[in-house]
Chains A and B, each alone.
Chain A
Amino acid sequence: MAGQSDSTMSLFSSEEIEFMAEDEMTEIVPNLRMDSLNFICGDYGPFLPQLAAQVPLWLALALKKRGKCTIRLPQWMSVENLTRVLEAERDSHAFQPLPFHYIEISRLLFDHAREDIPDMYMVRSLIEDIRDVRFHKVETNLEKVYCIYGDGTFHPEYRQWAMLLAKTPLSTCWTYQMFGKTMSAMEVNVIRAFAGRALQAFYKHDNEQQTPDTDRALDKQPQIPTDRPKRNLKPR
């Protein structure tokens, strides 16, 4: 069964996702003079007081912690934009465009640059609300996958997140574009293990029904010849 694959190995920990988010570019206003920094990951600066500069988030936070700059709040984190996004998020099934790392970026800014965020509490609660609405959507989408495969019926309203499901037989629809372009890193990561293994199991059962023998060869799974009684040894 699907239980053989080890899902933990391919998962990203939240620290690793935060690490990736720290490479996103951020605008800072330094209050010191500093020469160009020629890093392995790229060249930044030179830095002059009061002159805005683009740097990766980790560098922005390092300077911020030492009191050497202020961080400019990204455009998408303004109260107006977030209010608009939250409304749209509630009104439609689709995910609204937000940065891939919106959860991690906002979290890092809340933790380390709170005085640079006007209306901090407003921004924070808006982002929490958006996050909740979106995770709820993710959950209902997963339930729909189950519904479709559970009883084999298809409802038109599911079309937008799983456009290929309209076709039958099931074996023609093994790609799932359920996230569009705007699902974020944390959201993807949360559903990866569960949904991935569920789909894998559906795929396997579906293929076994239709073409039991050819698929086994493709699967490269060690198989015990069927004329002997099958012993179910626990996979290592």
Chain B
Amino acid sequence: MATEESASVMDDYEMLISTTDVELLKRAWRNEKAAPEILQFESSLVQRIKEQIELAEQNEEIFEANNIEPLTVSLYQMDLDRTQFLLRSYLRVRLQKIEKYLFYVLKTDEYLNRLSKQEQMFARRCTDDLGSHLDETVLAKLPDNYRSILKQSITSEEDDMVPAPRLDTFVICKANQYLSGLDFEPDYSMEITEMERDLLTFVCYKFVKKPLENGKIDLV
């Protein structure tokens, strides 16, 4: 007779082997949408999804050549559309975040390393364009002390005109396993000590950053 615990281990195992890349991408997309900062780019997952999309597109041509029933073809098309939507939306959310925190991302190595090669290129081009645009339209016409893009004036000690992601944003999350104090950042051991599995919790993003990066919780 199986105990409840071993049943739940089985569930986890079954879930693990039956989890498709689409499911993983959906999770990455949800987390990316809900998190205030940019997360690590899922390069191998995106690569796999792209290959599967290409394969599906090739199949479609084969279907047409072989006179497969239009109904079947249209169902495959819907599946393809859904996957493409998910991928596009995932990439787009990331671009939006990069644009929003452009200067901050570029000057913070930790963030810069989370971007894909293409995203890094995008960020650099964007900065150049935005920089020269601001120079031409406004900054060049200001007194010398106020010409920096990053600072309010030359007397500012830090870059105080660079918007940073707000890590104290509250997010809604769900742990996919029981989390003890060890799963959280020691800095926040006063604020958060444990999290029950599957319980929807409203929580400050920085408290759950670590378990999120370890894949132990999902943002909802």
Contacts and interface: CB of A to CB of B under 8 A. Distances in A.
B198 interface: yes
B122 interface: no
B40 interface: no
Contacts of A233: 152, 161
B78 interface: yes
A10 B160 contact: no
Given A188-B200, A195-B202, A200 B56 contact: no
A199 B171 CA distance: 10
Interface residues of B, number: 64
Contacts of A39: 76, 79
A176 B82 contact: no
Contacts of A218: 206
Interface in A203-236: 203-204, 218-225, 228, 231, 233, 235-236
B164 interface: yes
Contacts of B74: 62
B195 to A, nearest CB: 8
Nearest to B208: A175
A16 B85 CA distance: 10
B59 to A, nearest CB: 9
Given A196-B171, A200-B168, A221-B164, A41 B82 contact: yes
Contact of B160 (A6, A16, A192, A222): A222
B78 A23 contact: no
Contacts of A37: 72, 75-76, 79
A180 to B, nearest CB: 7
A203 B83 contact: no
A196 B21 contact: no
B129 interface: no
Interface string A41-78: 11000000000000000110011001010000000000
Given A40-B80, A58-B78, A19 B190 contact: no
A235 B82 contact: no
Contacts of B164: 220-222
Sorted nearest first, the 4 A-B pairs with minimum C-beta distance are A176-B202, A222-B160, A196-B170, A39-B79
5 contacts: A9-B97, A19-B82, A37-B72, A39-B79, A179-B201
Interface of B: 20-23, 26, 30, 33-36, 49, 52-53, 56, 69, 71-72, 74-76, 78-80, 82-83, 85, 89, 93, 96-97, 100, 152, 155-164, 166-172, 190-192, 195-196, 198-204, 206-207, 220
